[in-house]
Structure 1
Amino acid sequence: MSTKKFNRYTITAALPYANGPLHIGHIAGAYLPSDIYVRYLRLKGEDVVYICGSDEHGVAITIGAKKEGVTPREFIEKYHQLMKGAFEEFGISFDIYSRTSTPTHYAMAQDFFKKIHADGGLIEETSDQYFDEKEQLFLADRYIIGTCPVCANENAYGDQCEKCGTSLSPKQLINPRSTVSGAVPVLKPTKHWYFPLDRYEGWLKEWLLEGHKADLKSNVFGQCKSWLDQGLQPRSITRDLDWGIPVPIAGGEGKVLYVWFDAPIGYISATKELKPNDWEKYWKSDDTRLIHFIGKDNIVFHCIIFPSMLKAAGDFILPDNVPANEFLNLEGDKISTSRNHAVWLHEYLKELPNRKDELRYVLTSIAPETKDADFTWKDYQQRVNSELVAILGNFVNRVMVLTWKYFDGKVPAEHELPNTNEVRARILEKYNTTHEELDKSVAEMTKCLNDFRFREGQFHMMNLARLGNKFLADTEPWKLAKDDMEAVGCILNYALTVVGNIAIACEPFLPHTAASLKQQLNAAASGIDWSEFWKKNQLIRVLAPGHQLGKAELLFRNVEDEEVDIQIDKLRKTKETNQAKKMSETTPAPQENAIKEAIQFDDFAKLDLRVGKITAAEKVEKADKLLKLSVDLGFEQRTIVSGIAEHFTPEEVVNKLVTIVANLAPRKLRGIESQGMILMAENAEGKLQFVNPGSDFELGAIVR
C-alpha cells in the first residue's frame, strides 16, 4: 500500500462497453470491489469521486447496431440505460455514471489528441491495413483473428494472443480472417496517426516496474513486465469509421479516434461533468490518489497506454494503483455473452429482487483477486444459508428478540458485574476474551480494505457475527433470566454493542443489510457518532442504556432448492439450445416423425406406469404453465405438478383418467413436491392430449 499522504481520491471503474447487458463477471471484476472501497473511503470522511460511464464507440457498436437493425445511437442508448439502471438498483454507488457520447467528452478527447499532436507526440503514417471487402470496412485489431506465430493458437487476436499473452500486430497473424464476416481480409493503404509507445518504454520501466513493484498485485505486475520485456511498438490511435469522435486536425476527415484512446479519457470528462468548476484538482493535484479498478483484460491499457497518454498530455497525475481482478467463471465454464452462458445482472434483480446483498456477499467471498474463480448456484445457496442466515442473521435476530423479550426493546443498563460467583466469573472471562478478538477482527478488516483484499476483509467483518454468536452461546442469558437479570442485562447490552458495530462494519460490503440493521437499532435516534468506528478501527459504544430499539426483523431468508433449480435449469436450457443450434448447422434436420434412439427392454422395464384419476386441480401461483393435480391411484393419493396449464383449465382436467409415471423421483416445483409425471401425447401443432387408458381399467392398474 502507498504510504504517501493523500487529501483526495479519484476512483474509476472500467467503462463497460455499451453493446450488451452486465453479467456477474463484470460485477465481480471491477464494480463490486471499487464500490466496497469507495464506501469505505466515504465512511472515513475522505474526499472521493467515484467515476464510471458507458464506453460507446468502436467497431463492435456499429456491428451490433447493424445486426439489430438500428442506428449506433439507438443501440448505445438501449444498453446505456440498461446498465445504468442495473447499477443503480444493485447499489453500485457511482458519483456519476456518464457516457463517451457526451459533448463534454468529445471536446476533451479531441483536446487530448490536439495537445499531444501539437507537441510532436504523434506519428503520421500511411500503411497497408486489413480491409474486409465483404463488409466494406477496415478492421480494428480485435476484429482480426488468426494463428499465433508464437504458440500456434488458431484464435489469436490482431493485438494479442490471449493463450500465450504475446503482444501482436495483425500482420503477424498466420491465416488472418475477419471476425465480422469470416472472410479473408485484404491489405489496403490508409493514413493513420500513431502513438509512439516505444518512446515511453524506459520511463514505464522506471515508473511502473521499479516505482510501483511493491504496490501492484502480482498478476498486474507480471502482465506489465511481460509487455515491457517484449518491447513496445507505436499504436495506431485513429480508425477508418463513421461512428466515433472525429479526428480534429486537417487530413483527418473520415477518421475517428481509436476507442482505446478515447475511452479512458472518459474518466476525466465524466469528472468534469460532475465537478465543472474544480475537476482539475482530482486529475492534476499531486495530493490526489488515482486508482483504476478493472478486469485483467484491461491491464495493459490502464497500466501502460493510458499512463503514457497522461504523461504526453502534460500535467495529469498518474495511477497510484490498478487492483485488477482475474476472471469469474460460471458453473465450471467461461462466462460467454455470445453463448448466453451468464448470470445477467438485470435478470437477477428481476427474478431475485430482495437478494441484492446476497449476491454482493457471494461474489466478494469468491472474488477472483489473484486467480480465476467459479460461481455456482449451489455454492451461492450454501453460502447464503450457512453464513448470512445461520451466522449473521441468526446472531442479530437472537439479540433483538431477547432484548424485546426481557427489556421491552430497550437497551439494558450496563452494570458493574462483580465476580461474586462462578457464573459471573465465566461471563467476565468471555466478555474480555470476546472484546479482544473483536478488536483484532476490526483491525484486520480495515487493513484488508486498505490493501484491496476485499474477500479477506469481508471474512473478518463476518467474524464479528461469529464471535457474537459464540459469546451468546457461552454466556447463555436465557438460562440466567430466572435468577440474575442484572447479568442478562450486561450480556445483552454488550451483544447489542456488537450488533451495532456489525451494522457499521458491514456497510462497505452489504449496504442494504447495514440500512436494515440501523433501522432495527433505531440508529438515527442514538445520538452517538458512529463514524468514530472508522477513525479508531476498534469497537465503539453505539447505543446508550434506555435507547428504544426498532422492530426485530429477519435480515435474510434461506435460499430454497427450487430457487437455484430454476437458475440451473435456465443455464441448462441455454446450453441445450446452443448445442442444438450447433448441430443444426452441421447436420441435416431430422425427419418430423423420426424414432428416438433404441433402448433395451431392461430400460423400459424400470418404468412403473399406473392408471390414475385426477380428483382436484388448481393453478400454481406465479407459474403460468403449472397445474397442481391431486391424483387417485386407488391405493394412495398423489400430488403431481404438471406443465399443462397453457393447454387445459383446472376444471377441464378434473375426473380425467390418466397414465402416470409412478416411480419418478419426487422433485420440488415452486415449493410443491411433485410425486410423478402425467403422460401426454402431442400433435404436429403442439396441442397436448392425455394418454387415456379407458374407463375399463381400475385405478392403480399397471400399464405394461
Structure 2
Amino acid sequence: SRSSPPQVKLYNFMAKDNVPFHSVVFPCSLLGADDNYTLVNSLIATEYLNYEDGKFSKSRGVGVFGDMAKETGIPADIWRFYLLFVRPEGQDSSFSWHDLMMKNNSELLNNLGNFVNRAGMFVSKFFHGTVPEMELTLEDKWLLVHVSWELQHYNQLLEKVRIRDALRSVLNISRYGNQYIQINEPWKRIRGSEADQKRAGTVTGVAVNMSCLLSVMLLPYMPTVSAAIQEQLQAPEECNSLTDRFVCVLQAGHRIGTVSPLFKKLEADQIEELRKKYGGQQTPEGVKAAPRGEGKADPTELRELVSRQGSRVRELKAQKADKSLIDAEVSTLLDLKRKLAQAEGRAAGKK
C-alpha cells in the first residue's frame, strides 16, 4: 500500500461550484480505495467574478479573457493586482473598468508608487545614492511597530489564504510611509540645521527600508513590480525572507540604483474605449441584441435592461464619475429606451 507523506499539506483552489465533488465525492473515493492517498487539508473556494453588471461570455464577446488582456496594453501586474484586490473570497464580486482605473490611479500610482519613488529619489537627490545614517526617535520606533503589526497581519492572513485581505496590509504600509514623509518633510529639513539634516537622513533611511520591505510583500502579487523595486534599490538577496518583524535591511552606506516611476496613470477615455471594445455586440447586461430586420427583441427583457442601466447611470452620477463615462452610459440607456419603444410598438401591433 502507498504511504501518504505525513509532512504534506494539500491545498485545493477552485470555484464554488466544484466544492461538493472535491470536499465529499473525491475524498470518499480516495478513502474507499484504501490506498493511503493524501487527502485535502484546506479547500479554498472563490465565489463568482462577474463582468461589469453582467456575466463574462466568450460566445458573445463580453469580458476580457487571458489572451485579450495583453492586447489592452495594461501591464500584467496591474491585472494581477486588481483581480486579487476584488478577489471574490466571501461573495460574488465584479470586474469594473472604471474601478480598475480608480484603483490603479489611487492605490498604485498615488499611494504605493508615490511612496516608493519618493523614498528612492530622496536617497539619490539628497544623499548621492547612498542610504544615510539613521538615529531613531520614539516617533520612528512607533512607525516600526505599526509596520511590524501590518507585516504580522499580512503573514497571518496568507496562512489563512485570505489573499485579498493580505493585499490591504501592503497598501496600508505604503500609506503609513506617505504620512511619515509628509509629516517630517525631509525636503525642507535637508536645507536646515545639522540636526534637521540628520533628521532628514533618518526619515529617508527608514522610508527606503520600508520600500524594500514592500518589494518582498508584493512578490506574490506583482512579481514584475517587486523585481523593479529591488533592482532600483539594489536590494540584497537576504531581504527576501519575511518574519513578523520589520528590520532595516538597507544599512547606512548601502548604494541604491537608478530610481524611476513604477506606474502610469490610466486615463478615462482610454478605459472607456476598452470598456466598449470588450462589451460585445449586445446590451450591457449580456443579452444578445436581435439581428437586423428580425425584430424579435423581448419587451420584458428590455424593460429590465432599461431599469438596470438607469440604476447604473444614477450610481455613476452619485459617485461623481468622469463625465465621459457618464455620457457613454447615458447613450447606452437612450439606445435601450429606443429599442424598448420599438419592441412595445411591434408587440402592440400584433395584438
- Using the size of structure 1 for normalisation, the TM-score is 0.40
Paired with 1:298 and 1:515, the residues of 2 have a C-alpha distance of 35
Q: 1:405 Cα deviation (Å)? A: 0.9
Aligned to 1:389: 109
From 366, 388, 398, the counterpart of 2:118? 398
Paired with 2:117 and 2:150, the residues of 1 have a C-alpha distance of 21
The alpha-carbon distance between structure 1 residues 585 and 345, as it changes in their structure 2 partners (threshold 3 A), is farther
Aligned to 2:13: 293
Asked if 1:366 corresponds to 2:86, the answer is yes
Asked if 1:357 corresponds to 2:64, the answer is no
Verify the 8 A CA contact 1:411 1:547 in the aligned structure 2: yes
The alpha-carbon distance between structure 1 residues 298 and 573, as it changes in their structure 2 partners (threshold 3 A), is closer
Over aligned residue pairs, what C-alpha RMSD do you find?
2.4
Paired with 1:304 and 1:477, the residues of 2 have a C-alpha distance of 59
* Residue identity opposite 2:230 in structure 1: K
Q: 1:432 Cα deviation (Å)? A: 2.1
- Superposed, 1:2-17 pairs within 5 Å as none
Q: Please, which runs of 5 or more residues in structure 2 have no aligned partner?
A: 297-322, 326-351
- Superposed, 1:298-337 pairs within 5 Å as 298-313=18-33, 314-337=35-58
- Using the size of structure 2 for normalisation, the TM-score is 0.78
Aligned to 2:149: 440
Paired with 2:287 and 2:154, the residues of 1 have a C-alpha distance of 45
Aligned to 2:347: none
* Residue identity opposite 2:42 in structure 1: N
Aligned to 1:592: none
Verify the 8 A CA contact 2:219 2:226 in the aligned structure 1: yes
Q: 1:519 Cα deviation (Å)? A: 0.5
- SS, match of residue 255 in structure 2: coil
Paired with 2:157 and 2:288, the residues of 1 have a C-alpha distance of 47
- SS, match of residue 471 in structure 1: helix
Per-residue CA shift, 1:39-83, capped at 9, x if unaligned? xxxxxxxxxxxxxxxxxxxxxxxxxxxxxxxxxxxxxxxxxxxxx
Aligned to 1:522: 234
Asked if 1:412 corresponds to 2:124, the answer is no
Q: 1:392 Cα deviation (Å)? A: 0.3
* Residue identity opposite 1:456 in structure 2: D
The number of equivalent residue pairs is 294
* Residue identity opposite 2:146 in structure 1: E
Asked if 1:477 corresponds to 2:186, the answer is yes
Aligned to 1:539: 246
Per-residue CA shift, 1:588-607, capped at 9, x if unaligned? 8xxxxxxxxxxxxxxxxxxx
From 206, 217, 236, the counterpart of 1:505? 217
Q: 1:667 Cα deviation (Å)? A: 6.7
Moved more, 539-548 or 368-377: 539-548
Verify the 8 A CA contact 1:430 1:475 in the aligned structure 2: no
Asked if 1:587 corresponds to 2:307, the answer is no
Asked if 1:348 corresponds to 2:69, the answer is yes
- SS, match of residue 575 in structure 1: coil
Q: 1:576 Cα deviation (Å)? A: 5.2
Aligned to 1:449: 158
Verify the 8 A CA contact 2:177 2:210 in the aligned structure 1: yes
- Superposed, 1:79-158 pairs within 5 Å as none
Asked if 1:559 corresponds to 2:266, the answer is yes
Q: 1:583 Cα deviation (Å)? A: 4.2
Per-residue CA shift, 1:468-499, capped at 9, x if unaligned? 11111111111111123222111111111111
The alpha-carbon distance between structure 1 residues 584 and 308, as it changes in their structure 2 partners (threshold 3 A), is farther
Q: Determine which structure has the larger helix proportion and give its number.
A: 2
Q: 1:307 Cα deviation (Å)? A: 1.1
Q: Determine which structure has the larger strand proportion and give its number.
A: 1
Verify the 8 A CA contact 2:84 2:164 in the aligned structure 1: yes
Per-residue CA shift, 1:297-323, capped at 9, x if unaligned? 111221122212222332201000111
Verify the 8 A CA contact 1:430 1:474 in the aligned structure 2: no
Q: 1:573 Cα deviation (Å)? A: 4.6
- SS, match of residue 557 in structure 1: coil
- SS, match of residue 9 in structure 2: strand
Paired with 1:376 and 1:463, the residues of 2 have a C-alpha distance of 23
* Residue identity opposite 2:12 in structure 1: H
